[in-house]
Structure 1
Amino acid sequence: MILVTGGAGFIGANFVLDWLAGGDEAVLNLDALTYAGNLETLASLERTAAHRFIHGDICDRALVDGLLAEHRPRAIIHFAAESHVDRSIHGPGTFVRTNVEGTFTLLEAARTYWSGLPAGDREAFRFLHVSTDEVYGSLGPQDPPFAETKTYEPNSPYSASKAASDHLVRAWHHTYGLPVLTTNCSNNYGPYQFPEKLIPLMIVNALAGKPLPVYGDGLNVRDWLYVGDHCSAIREVLARGRTGETYNIGGWNEIANIDIVRTLCRLLDEMRPDPAGPHERLISYVKDRPGHDRRYAIDARKIERELGWKPAETFETGIRKTVRWYLDNPGWIANVQSGAYRDWVATQYGGSDAGQGA
């Protein structure tokens, strides 16, 4: 069994679905179900015995200790995090609590659990920490992409809290010997993403005929990684990564935000034409957010060189799959926007904090 934290969020849920589709090793899924955690994403696992969902907080040390003692996982894959930059600007305390205190709590629980394992199990155990390229700061137009050796220069409360968590993971390895792995990924996109992030927000707004808000001049550049590729990379790092090492995971797709929005408009014009006219008419430039990093880019050569991983999707294939998924799943979108998925959880579990399946 593996323990996944944040397995009802966007990347975590995609990982759980991918993991269980690719094998029969069980998943213990711990998630606090904050605003972006959505059990409806995992509805297909409702009768899957290999998936056990626990509604709980990674900051609850007694809960985490109990889960480790009872289920004895061979690995912890730590996705749980607050991850939206805009929200971190308006409410940084939540990010410090979840991303820093939560990671600290998990590390201490994992260290206690790992120390008590038999020698063979102790040798095989892994703590895989999922992080972000935003910890490295911002790049100029001609700067080389972020390598694993890049100095940390976080510029938002979100990225600062993730940088702090990365440092804790590193320290627990070097001080206590905990067998850790860290991955720093670029911007993810794909199915089941909460519609506050750029790509799903633009799709949802365009379908509703609402403005498509683009920060500043729209020329902020990000590297884009299809979430399914991210899941496959994490599998490889967990299976064969060297303990104590960091692996950058990127899609080799540096694209300006405005070009992302125009691509989405073009695909929607093709796949769901609007009688009112081309979707680009909805693009609206808005005041830039404070401290908006200009460019991120990932150098993913290390993971390819050491583990043989590279993304399977181009941006063209991945974004088409993503738009198609949102067009085919209006019910999921409507429930997320209305909060109806919380009612679904209450009905499913009758107020219980834990259950079998999801």
Structure 2
Amino acid sequence: MTTSQRLLVTGGAGFIGANFVRYWLERHPGGRVVVLDALTYAGNRASLAAVEARPEFRFVHGDIRDEALVERLLREEGIDTLVHFAAESHVDRSIAGPDAFIDTNVVGTHSLLKAARTVWLGGATVPGHRFHHVSTDEVYGSLGPQDPAFSETTPYAPNSPYSASKAASDHLVRAYHHTYGLNTTISNCSNNYGPLQFPEKLIPLCILNLLGGQPLPVYGDGRNVRDWLHVEDHCRGIELILQGGRVGETYNVGGGAERTNLQVVESLCAIMDELRPASAPHNRLIEFVEDRLGHDRRYAIDERKLHGELGYVPANRFEAGLRETVSWYLDNAAWWQPILSGEYLERARPDGR
């Protein structure tokens, strides 16, 4: 594929989607990027402020379940590549209210697939099209301390409504390739971190709580393990898949940085002790709370397939990336303060070109 690809990016005002849009436009100035986002609570138009004025960028406020809208955008923009980030993604929210996860992650993905099939495989076919679906390592279930990392052939064993909904959407994408011949790829990533992340997730939540002198809630004993992936490395992994990934294949994208939740929180405290020293060490704010229902113990990614086929290597060391992330939040209160106040949800959401 060439740098003149014309992309429709769903969920492009969310954390990973917005980082991907900015990353792609910086490296592929000759193409076109159209963002489709419903601007639900985790979608923030301000995350795209750096690219709003670019002539090759367009924002559309809409729902991925609106099949007619998606078909229209694919046709009028001449889209040949759809990168699907849009999803409900917070496990705690899926436990409290799973319906939205089925609606967006399963029904929404199916609507996109139907629209892509109609436009790309209909009367005027688009031979070089690509439907790339962004998924999660959580579909594989939970690992024991000595278990080998998840590979692309690990059986699915989702344990939360969130991961079950993502597993279902993965299967739909795969089915549309094998049944209808839609050109698809799937990537399953580990825990992302970096700038522009909505502050309900562990790292930004802790950073902002540290700034406010608020408790740092840690589930259970804090020894649940995650593989941490800097969002820029994730964007590069997706770029490699779009440019050279084999149609119909799945690729795992990881950061090679397994850490317990407690280690992550303690690292954040140490960074804040240095950057914003207080009267006492920040780790005094750590507070162990009742564990999450069905809390998976460990995730780890085996990324040898992506490395071997496409040369992927994560460039961001966790310690340096975490420090840069803390610095970004310290320097960008204008981005996160409206989120904490709810002001960003009250702003007008007009379409724009």
1:15 partner letter: F
- Give deviations 1:52-99, integer Å, cap 9, x for gaps: 000000001111111111111110000000000000001100000000
Q: Tell me the residue number matched to 1:156.
A: 160
1:118 shift after superposition? 5.2
Answer whether contact 2:52 2:58 (CA < 8 A) is retained. Answer: no
- Give deviations 1:302-327, integer Å, cap 9, x for gaps: 00000001100110111111011011
2:352 partner letter: G
Aligned residues: 347
1:21 shift after superposition? 1.2
- Partner of 2:299: helix, strand, or coil? coil
Structure 1 CA distance, aligned partners of 2:290 and 2:191? 22
1:330 shift after superposition? 1.2
1:117 shift after superposition? 6.6
- Partner of 1:130: helix, strand, or coil? strand
- Alignment pair present for 1:137 and 2:141: yes
1:81 partner letter: A
1:343 shift after superposition? 3.5
Counterpart selection for 2:12 from 2, 7, 17:
7
> Tell me, which stretches of 5 or more residues in structure 2 are unaligned?
1-5
- Alignment pair present for 1:50 and 2:47: no
Q: Tell me the residue number matched to 1:264.
A: 268
Structure 2 CA distance, aligned partners of 1:321 and 1:288? 29
Q: Which has the higher contact order (CA 8 A, sep 6+)?
A: 1
Counterpart selection for 2:299 from 280, 296, 301:
296
Extract structure 1 runs of 4+ deviating beyond 4 A: none
Q: Tell me the residue number matched to 2:204.
A: 200
- Partner of 2:287: helix, strand, or coil? strand
Answer whether contact 2:9 2:85 (CA < 8 A) is retained. Answer: yes
Q: Tell me the residue number matched to 1:84.
A: 90
- Give deviations 1:173-202, integer Å, cap 9, x for gaps: 110110100000000000000000000000
Counterpart selection for 2:171 from 156, 167, 171:
167
- Alignment pair present for 1:70 and 2:76: yes
Q: Tell me the residue number matched to 1:315.
A: 318
- Give deviations 1:267-301, integer Å, cap 9, x for gaps: 01011111x31100000000001000000000011
1:227 partner letter: V
1:300 partner letter: E
> Tell me, which stretches of 5 or more residues in structure 1 are unaligned?
none
The normalised TM-score by structure 1 is: 0.95
Counterpart selection for 2:224 from 198, 204, 220:
220
Structure 1 CA distance, aligned partners of 2:124 and 2:306? 30
Structure 2 CA distance, aligned partners of 1:115 and 1:277? 63
Q: Tell me the residue number matched to 1:343.
A: 346
- Give deviations 1:14-56, integer Å, cap 9, x for gaps: 0001111112111010000000000011112231111100000
Structure 2 CA distance, aligned partners of 1:207 and 1:54? 34
Structure 2 CA distance, aligned partners of 1:70 and 1:250? 35
